[in-house]
Amino acid sequence: MRFRPEQHLRRQDEIRAVRAEGRRFDARAFTAWWLPRASGSTAEISRPRACVIASTAAVGHAILRNRAKRRLRELFRQHQALLPAGCDYLFIARAAMNQRPFPELEKIFINACAQIAAAVVVLPKHD
């Protein structure tokens, strides 16, 4: 499945809201934050939205940051069906993203998806 442009979480206020109001899961190689979106139109909540961040302090110089973000985006792209659709996600890379083999990261990500799916309570619709 593609990681479509409308699935990118780009606005700073939305990213801050996920971090401030959302819940957190620590997967050692990355940290995942999620926040159920307020109910709106069906098309609006049909796919999960995500933002990937890698800081210099946590990951390193630009080449390492870019590699960590590419790996996290690819994991999200491949396994987004495992995550609840009505949520915004913030994935923060750590140095371990570049130190572990991709199949191991994939197992970690799938486990994180299962933990998040079990914890997410999508907000009910208010008509």
Tokens of 64: 């390492």
Residue 90 is assigned to a structural domain of this protein: yes
Residue 125 is assigned to a structural domain of this protein: no
- Whether the Cβ atoms of residue 120 and residue 34 lie closer than 8 Å to each other: yes
Residue 126 is assigned to a structural domain of this protein: no
Q: Region 96-113: what's the mean pLDDT?
A: 96
Provide the pairing of β-strand 30-36 with 49-53.
Answer: unpaired
The answer to whether the predicted template modeling score (pTM) of the entire model surpasses 0.85 is: yes
- Whether the Cβ atoms of residue 92 and residue 50 lie closer than 8 Å to each other: no
Residue 127 is assigned to a structural domain of this protein: no
Residue 28 is assigned to a structural domain of this protein: yes
Helices and strands (DSSP H and E) totals, the chain = 4, 4
- Domains of the chain: total: 1
Given a cut of 60, is residue 123 above it in pLDDT?
no
Domain that holds residue 32: 5-118
Angle at the Cα of 9 (from 5 to 11), degrees rounded to 5?
Answer: 115
Give tens-digit pLDDT for 40-96: 545 455 789 999 999 999 999 999 999 999 999 999 999 999 999 889 999 999 999
pLDDT score, position 126: 47
Across the chain, mean pLDDT equals 88
- Tallying the residues shown for the chain, one arrives at 127
123 or 46, which is more confident?
46
Q: Region 30-45: what's the mean pLDDT?
A: 76
pLDDT score, position 110: 97
Model confidence band, residue 127 (pLDDT cutoffs 50, 70, 90): very low
State the CATH number of the domain containing residue 53: 3.30.230.10
Provide the pairing of β-strand 23-26 with 49-53.
Answer: unpaired
Residue 97 is assigned to a structural domain of this protein: yes
Residue 85 is assigned to a structural domain of this protein: yes
Residue 38 is assigned to a structural domain of this protein: yes
- Whether the Cβ atoms of residue 17 and residue 34 lie closer than 8 Å to each other: no
Model confidence band, residue 104 (pLDDT cutoffs 50, 70, 90): very high
